[in-house]
């Protein structure tokens, strides 16, 4: 059972978010690519409502979908540039954007911290990902327990389940896909969907 959304669970430091667009000349193409793939995944029913999130590593930090924004209707201003997230304090310390970053920011940040070969992370939902048969058939690791979204425990469990692979199931929650770029992270999901018949 997917937990009902109740906002972000991390702390936000005083004056941590500089309220201006995160879009710049250097990242506008990356944002456009994320918007394009987010729409494709939304049309496939993998991001109902405001569920799901997408991010990319950039020189200044991590560009991530803002919280409570629908993946199928993203605009450039719906992304926040996370410059610093303190996992120890579970606190957003520095960001630029017009909105608060995704509730899954801790998971994305921890993945990028542990996996220097990864430049994009996509998290989607879907009934098929909740079935044990799905991850057994496709040999995708799963977290051992169902954990609250956006929590420290969920982020740590996701990183452990992913290991050196590029996908993992968050038990009773959804799927996380990693890639060298957004296209690769999205195509990991699309390739599996082409094979799914459960």
Residue-wise pLDDT tens digits, 105-136: 999 999 999 999 999 999 999 888 888 888 88
| Maximum Cα interatomic distance, the chain, rounded to a whole number of Å | 49
- Its pTM stands at 0.94
Q: What CATH topology corresponds to 11-195?
A: L-fuculose-1-phosphate Aldolase (3.40.225)
d(CA 65, CA 189): 18
Phi and psi dihedrals of 138, rounded to 5? Answer: -95, 5
Is residue 168 a contact partner of residue 158, using CB atoms and an 8 Å limit?
yes
Provide the pLDDT confidence category of residue 198 given band limits of 50, 70 and 90.
Answer: very low
pLDDT, average across residues 73-80 = 98
Look at strands 53-58 and 120-124 and give their pairing. antiparallel
In percent, the amount of the chain with pLDDT more than 70 equals 96
- 85 strand-pairing partners: 92
Q: Which two tokens stand for residue 125?
A: 């939902």
pLDDT tens digits, 127-163: 888 888 888 889 999 999 999 999 999 999 999 999 9
d(CA 102, CA 158): 16
List, in order, residues 6 or more apart from 122 with CB less than 8 Å away: 37, 41, 52, 53, 54, 55, 176, 177, 179, 182, 185, 186, 189
- The confidence score (pLDDT) of residue 7 equals 83
């Amino acid at each position: 059972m997917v937990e009902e959304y109740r906002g972000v669970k991390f702390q936000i430091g005083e004056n941590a978010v500089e309220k201006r667009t995160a879009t710049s000349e250097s990242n506008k193409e990356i944002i456009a690519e994320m918007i394009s793939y987010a729409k494709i995944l939304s049309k496939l029913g993998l991001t109902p409502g405001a569920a799901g999130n997408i991010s990319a590593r950039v020189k200044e930090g991590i560009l991530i979908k803002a919280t409570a924004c629908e993946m199928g209707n993203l605009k450039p201003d719906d992304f926040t540039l996370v410059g610093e997230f303190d996992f120890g304090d579970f606190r957003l310390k520095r960001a630029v954007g017009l909105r608060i970053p995704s509730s899954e920011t801790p998971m994305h940040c921890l993945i990028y911290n542990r996996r220097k070969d990864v430049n994009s992370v996509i998290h989607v939902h879907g009934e098929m990902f909740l079935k044990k048969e799905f991850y057994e058939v496709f040999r995708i690791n799963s977290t051992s327990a169902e954990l609250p979204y956006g929590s420290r425990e969920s982020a740590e469990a996701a990183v452990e389940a992913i290991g050196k692979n590029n996908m993992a199931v968050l038990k009773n929650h959804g799927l996380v896909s990693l890639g060298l770029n957004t296209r690769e992270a999205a195509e990991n999901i699309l390739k599996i969907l082409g094979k799914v018949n459960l």
